[in-house]
Chain A
Amino acid sequence: MSEWRDDIFDCLQEAGVRQVAYVPDAGHARLIDRCHEANGMRAVSLTTEEDGVALMAGAWLGGDKGVMLMQSSGVGNTINMLSLVKNCQFPLVTLVTMRGEWGEWNTWQVPMGQTTQQHFEVAGVICYRCDKPEDVKETVATALRFAYYTNSAVAVLLGQRLIGAKIFPED
């Protein structure tokens, strides 16, 4: 398994992240496992992405730094809940594995994947993008610092070229 996922985990630990909200996702599977196993870190499995936005707000209210893991197909679910982040100036960091772009096979992933960044930006979320493994660590570390220091919402879009396109047997 590629080591950039471990780089992300190291970034979360170094930043003192205590709550990791996620909606299950194959691209983040290894990271999710590591967060569940980590001492001092609570990985919370949610049924929909807007709950992750809200959970992060609650975590911050209680003094915990958090990060949300999700897939691009869930970004549309977050839009109204992002009004909570904007109104209250909560910091938010979300790490988004991209679908519907480089090498995609599933037509249904394309509409959300191709408009993820636009949706986020309209909702007030700053987007950083990673397509190369060597960029991941610095980008995630920077996103964490920026969000917590400036009460900003930041999404790191982990490109499908980085993750590797899902291969279906029918291909």
Chain B
Amino acid sequence: MTALNRREIVAKLLADRGNDLLVVPSLGQACYDCMAAGDSPQTFYMWGAMGGAVPVALGLAIAQPDKRVICIAGDGELLMGLGALAATAAEAPANFAIACLDNERYGETGQQHTATGRGANLTAIAAGAGFGTAMMVTTEDEVAAGVKACRETPGPVFVTFKVDDAPEEAAIPPKDGAYLKSRFREAVVGKI
């Protein structure tokens, strides 16, 4: 296991985000990472609905083509909804990126191994699904290019960041779904 730190990766992904970056983190650690980087109404935290982060972000990307949408998802999340990678690549949203924080573990349920530590390669799966850009980031030297791809490269972009499996300190975002929806719409659409 390499030693990329997930909090540092997410902080870089969200740095100077302004109002034109929309973020959908998947349930669990990805939400805490985004909260630790700084709460924003333009982050739609998912506290459940596992496997749904990518299609939520896809619907958002189609609705808001002039804004960048990044889905920050764990490997377990993506493994639950692999079909959504094919559907996303087929739609080819140019403003869309998936940043996969791959710790090879189901962190919320007791650190069980996911398939990515046992042979599955989500970057290869994304490339096979049709993502035009599909990268694997395993070293500090590669992080800047991976972050830049997520923020700027015409999508759909998929970047796996191989991160340390050590749990981070909890940073708990709001979990009232109606509040999260309403504040997001107010900020992005201008009405609830």
Chain A residues with CB under 8 Å of chain B are 18-19, 21, 42, 44-48, 50-64, 66, 80-81, 83-84, 87-90
Contact = CB atoms under 8 A, between A and B. Distances in A.
B62 A62 contact: yes
B48 A87 contact: yes
Nearest to B71: A58
Tell which of A19, A45, A59, A66 has the most Cβ of chain B within 10 Å.
A59
Interface in B95-119: none
Contacts of B120: none
B55 A64 contact: no
A61 to B, nearest CB: 5
A47 B83 CA distance: 6
Contact of B44 (A21, A45, A47, A61): A61
Interface residues of B, number: 37
A122 to B, nearest CB: 17
A89 B178 CA distance: 6
B49 interface: yes
A57 to B, nearest CB: 5
A61 B180 CA distance: 10
Interface string B20-44: 0010100000000000000000001
Interface in B126-182: 177-178, 180-181
Contacts of B53: 54
B185 A58 contact: no
A53 B51 CA distance: 11
A44 B52 contact: no
A89 B44 CA distance: 14
A124 to B, nearest CB: 13
B113 to A, nearest CB: 23
Given A54-B55, A81-B52, A89 B83 contact: no
A55 B55 contact: yes
Contacts of B87: 44-47, 51
Contacts of B48: 80, 83-84, 87
A80 B50 contact: yes
Given A51-B55, A61-B56, 4 more contacts: A44-B91, A47-B84, A62-B188, A89-B178
B188 A61 contact: yes
A126 to B, nearest CB: 18
B56 A58 contact: yes
Contacts of A51: 51-52, 54-55, 81, 83-84, 87
Nearest to A52: B55
Contacts of A45: 87, 90
Contact of A63 (B44, B54, B61, B185): B185
Contact of A54 (B47, B52, B64): B52
A64 B51 CA distance: 22
Instruction: Report, nearest first, the 5 A-B pairs whose CB atoms are least far apart.
Output: A62-B63, A58-B59, A47-B83, A88-B177, A87-B177
A87 B120 CA distance: 33
Contacts of A21: 59
Tell which of A56, A61, A89 has the most Cβ of chain B within 10 Å.
A61
A63 B189 CA distance: 6
A88 B179 CA distance: 7
A51 to B, nearest CB: 4
Contacts of B52: 50-51, 53-54, 57, 81, 84
